[in-house]
Amino acid sequence: MTIHIGAEKGQIAGTVLLPGDPYRAKWAAETFLEAPELVNETRGMLGYTGTWRGNRVTVQGSGMGMPSLSIYVNELIRDYDAQTLIRIGSCGGMQPHVALRDIILAMTSSTISTPSSGIFRELNFAPVADWGLLRAAYSACEDKGIVPHMGGIYSSDVFYDERPDLNAEMVRHGILGVEMEAAELYALAARYGRRALAILTVSDHLDTGEALPSQDREQSFGDMVEIALNAAFA
Ligand code: HPA
């Protein structure tokens, strides 16, 4: 048990999928895993462990934003020895060619700050995805007939953004989408020598203001779970 995760030591698998929403963790575990077992419900941040094609997997909610994700990922790595951590989440599209429902595999993520900024001080650390996971996730997309966007995203501290000037610069520099967790996930994976990847579905678009209805979100979330599982065990 840790401060935020009630599971016993052996109850968390080496591979952890991280949706932001704890109810998505429940849905993913019950839909895709065999014999899913509830291993955490501290603060309602549900986590389940089961197997997929004979491989043990945990699906643990991370909450929204980098401070929340940082708590769970620190404890998953330091106390439970998680080796492979894959975020499955949503993002806002930032480029005209990035459409609703599209999938983005985040090669890197820009930020203003993360919980790790205190360590890096003057350094603009460039957080990157694990290459093996990235390659395997790309292949898993191909197998499903999905062509993902590959490139940089923005991990923001705010959902209700007040910096249109900064967003314009990021659009100009090819940033594909905005979410709120990946940069800290990648920084922690780098610090502890673990594998990490963020797989994102475009759920809304900054240009047009359009947003996916909740039914469509479930379908695309299912695609991401399958891509993540195939990538983790490729
Ligand atoms: N901004 C930040 N995070 C998000 C968004 C967004 O527009 N959409 C989904 N996650």
* Pocket flag, ligand 1, residue 201 (CB < 6 Å): no
> Which atom of ligand 1 approaches the CA of 179 most closely?
3
Q: How far apart are the first and last CA of the chain?
A: 30
Of 79, 157, 161, 204, which one is the catalytic site residue?
204
- Residue 150: what pLDDT? 98
Active site residue 157: no
Structural tokens at position 134: 């990235």
What ranges in the chain are assigned the alpha helix state H? 22-32, 66-78, 117-120, 131-143, 164-172, 182-192, 214-232
- Residue 214: what pLDDT? 79
Is the backbone of residue 135 left (phi > 0), alpha (psi -120 to 50) or beta? alpha
pTM attached to this predicted model? 0.97
**Distance between CA 209 and CA 204 in Å, rounded?**
7
- Residue 148: what pLDDT? 98
Q: Which of 199, 203, 208, 216 to mutate to test the pocket of ligand 1 (most atoms within 8 A of CB)?
A: 203
The rounded Cα 221 to chain-centroid distance in angstroms is: 11
How far is the centre of ligand 1, averaged over its atoms, from the C-alpha of 37 (Å)? 30
How far is the centre of ligand 1, averaged over its atoms, from the C-alpha of 180 (Å)? 7
- Residue 219: what pLDDT? 81
- Residue 151: what pLDDT? 98
- Residue 218: what pLDDT? 80
Along the 234 residues of the chain, how does pLDDT read in single tens digits?
999 999 999 999 999 999 999 999 999 999 999 999 999 999 999 999 999 999 999 999 999 999 999 999 999 999 999 999 999 999 999 999 999 999 999 999 999 999 999 999 999 999 999 999 999 999 999 999 999 999 999 999 999 999 999 999 999 999 999 999 999 999 999 999 999 999 999 999 999 999 998 777 888 899 999 999 999 999
- Angle value at C-alpha 184, between 177 and 171, nearest 5 degrees: 20
* Pocket flag, ligand 1, residue 178 (CB < 6 Å): yes
How far is the centre of ligand 1, averaged over its atoms, from the C-alpha of 142 (Å)? 25
> Could you give the domains of the chain?
15-232 (3.40.50.1580)
